[in-house]
Amino acid sequence: MKIRISITVKLFLSVLTACTAVLLVQTVTVRISFQRDFLDYLNGQGSHSMEKILPRLTVAYKEHGSWEFFHTDSMAWLDLIRPQGDFDEINRNLSIADQTGALMRTGLLDTHLQRIAGNLRVDANSIRRPVIVDGQTVGWIAMAPFQEMMSTNDERFLEKQRKVWIVIGFTSLAVIAILTFFLTRALLDRVRGLVRATHRLAAGDYASRIEVGSLDELGALAQDFNRMAHALEHNERARRTFMADISHELRTPLAVIRAELEAIQDGIRLPNTQSFDAMHREIGQLGKLIDDLHDLALTDIGALAYRRLPIDLTTILKTALASMQGRFNAKDLHLETHLTPEALIVIGDERRLQQLFANLLENTLRYTDNGGQINVSCTHTDGLVMIIFEDSAPGVPEDKLNHLFDRFYRVEASRNRASGGSGLGLAICRNIAEAHNGHISATASPLGGLRISIELTLAVL
């Protein structure tokens, strides 16, 4: 069975292990440095002191012809190795090797590495330098290593230092553990906040938000989480609104058709042309809604078929305007066009662009008061085509312009289908424009109504 270890324990142990490893490496390094490098330094300094004595030993050997004089004169060795000069000069030039007893650890060995004079512990394993006279090795000056000459007090001192290091090590570990605990707890409190908010979001609480706090990686993650939660909340509201709107839009024509049929069945109304015309209009309205929903679904997922060919945008726009002219006249709307005379070639689907312009003209016709003004212009500059639809009052409040291309969105709060469509036309227009790598936007019109701009890229032939 696998043991589940919480992230708190994992993080705590990870940081503690890392700090402990660093402390151990530091302790071992210092100990090795002291025992090897420092002692080697002292022994090296002692070797330097031996180099100073070598010339004296060479001169003494030449004077006496052998080392026998050390056996007859007990003070000869001390006289030979002691520093030369007056006391003040000796004090000034006293090296650290001399201060640690290097001279007292020095002795003389014969050519067979047998002790002649000096420290009793010098032997073949000691630090040695040859004494050469007339090209012949006549003996060896040797020095016992510092670590071999340590006294009991020295050993006690080193042992005490080791204990001090152990205490320092455990104290450091305790401090590290305490600091690690508080640091990881503060960090994990924020992580737990993210986890709790994620669980609430997964359970459907899209209003869940996280306090950002500091501007670090967790703060950036909290900001991303809040943006995601806001998007999900918006999408959920849009989904519910969509379901309510589509239910209403489908129910209304069905209710009218049912009422007409029931009236005929009950004998209240006769099956005459007027009844059939009313039902036909509602069926047409229902069919258009279904077609719009189908087109919107296809454009949303990018599955709407596009037959992209070089086409003249001016011709398509003129055709769309001509097809709407009669309806504009019937509503006493004055249509004014400003179209460039030359052909504007774009790569696109002729049928979808006709649908785009027809939807925009239908929207303008539907929401412009009788006797109003409609301006349509088409210009090009720097490889771009700009098509603008402008109409007169009524206008759209500034805070609602950004929502005009949302599905089922209507500026008016009511669901009066006589004054407005299903609210899908502009959403389809946006998807068609974006499918042609274009851009569509809505702003206030100088005429007092709405201005819709479409930007498309000219084809390079």
Are residues 446 and 322 part of one domain?
Answer: yes
* Cα–Cα distance measured from residue 260 to residue 272, given in angstroms and rounded to the nearest whole number: 11
* Average pLDDT over all residues of the chain: 78
| Domain tally, the chain | 3
pLDDT number for residue 41: 64
Give kind and range of the element (H or E) at residue 118. strand 115-118
366 is in which domain, residue-wise?
307-457
Say yes or no: 356 and 409 in one domain. yes
Residue type at position 408:
F
* Cβ contact 49:95 at 8 Å: yes
pTM score, whole prediction: 0.47
Residue 187 lies in a domain: no
Residue 148: pLDDT band with limits 50, 70, 90: low
Summarize the confidence of residues 446-456 as an average pLDDT.
91
Band (pLDDT 50/70/90 cuts) for residue 419 is very low
Q: Mark whether 252 and 379 lie in a shared domain.
A: no
**Of 93, 123, 148, which residue is a domain's last?**
148
pLDDT interval class at 190 (50, 70, 90): confident
| Domain shared by 379 and 399, yes or no | yes
Q: Residue 377 falls within a domain, yes or no?
A: yes
Q: Indicate if 332 and 265 belong to the same structural domain.
A: no
Domain boundary among 252, 278, 298: 298
Quickly state the pLDDT bin for 454 (edges 50, 70, 90). very high
Q: What percent of the chain has pLDDT over 70?
A: 79
Which pLDDT score is estimated for 387? Answer: 93
**pLDDT tens for residues 51-64?**
778 888 888 888 88
User: Residue 37 — very low, low, confident or very high, per pLDDT cuts 50/70/90?
Assistant: low
pLDDT band for position 374 (cuts 50, 70, 90)? very high
Instruction: Say if residue 404's pLDDT is above 70.
Output: yes
How is residue 369 annotated by DSSP? Answer: -
What pLDDT, on the 0 to 100 scale, is given for residue 89?
46
Q: Are residues 313 and 453 in the same domain?
A: yes
What's the average model confidence in pLDDT over 210-222? 76
Residues 55, 84, single domain; the answer is: yes
Residues 6+ apart with CB under 8 A from 454: 356, 360, 386, 387, 388, 433, 438, 439, 440
pLDDT in tens, 320-339: 999 888 888 988 999 999 98
Of 214-218, 223-227, 247-251, 417-421, the least confident: 417-421
For residue 164, tell me if it sits in a domain.
no
Is 316 within the bounds of a domain? Answer: yes
Q: Is pLDDT above 90 for 375?
A: yes
Residue 388 has pLDDT above 90, yes or no: yes
Q: Is residue 156 part of a domain?
A: no
pLDDT band at residue 5, thresholds of 50, 70 and 90? low
Q: Are 293 and 314 in a shared domain?
A: no
Look up tokens 């539907």; give the residue: 366
> H or E stretch including 137?
strand 136-143
Q: Are 391 and 360 in contact (CB under 8 A)?
A: no
pLDDT for 155 equals 62
Question: Is the pLDDT reported for residue 112 higher than 60?
Answer: yes
User: Do 289 and 314 belong together in one domain?
Assistant: no
Within a domain: 199: no
For residues 146 and 357, the model is more confident at 357
Provide the pLDDT confidence category of residue 413 given band limits of 50, 70 and 90.
very low
- Of 298, 317, 347, the residue at which a domain comes to its end is 298
Q: What is the mean pLDDT of residues 249-262?
A: 79
* 7 — pLDDT class (breaks 50, 70, 90): low
11 located within any domain: yes
pLDDT of residue 236: 79
User: What percent of the chain stands above pLDDT 90?
Assistant: 10
Q: What is the mean pLDDT of residues 122-141?
A: 87
Q: Is the pLDDT of residue 147 over 80?
A: no
Other beta carbons less than 10 A from residue 414's beta carbon: 8
CB 409 within 8 A of CB 395: no
Nearest CA to 389 out of 419, 362, 354 is that of: 362
Of 184-193, 204-213, 355-364, the range with the lowest mean pLDDT is: 184-193
What backbone phi and psi angles, to 5 degrees, belong to 111? Answer: -65, -20
Based on the fold, state whether residues 221 and 246 are members of the same structural domain.
yes
Q: CA 358 → CA 284, 364, 385, distances in Å? A: 17, 10, 18
CATH number at residue 372: 3.30.565.10
Pair (277, 329) in one structural domain: no
Q: Is the pLDDT of residue 32 over 80?
A: no
Flag whether 15 is in a domain. yes
Reply yes or no on whether the pLDDT at 390 is more than 90.
Answer: yes
The closest of 262, 241, 255 to 285, measured between CA atoms, is: 255
- 429 and 341 assigned to the same domain: yes
Q: What is the pLDDT of residue 90?
A: 45
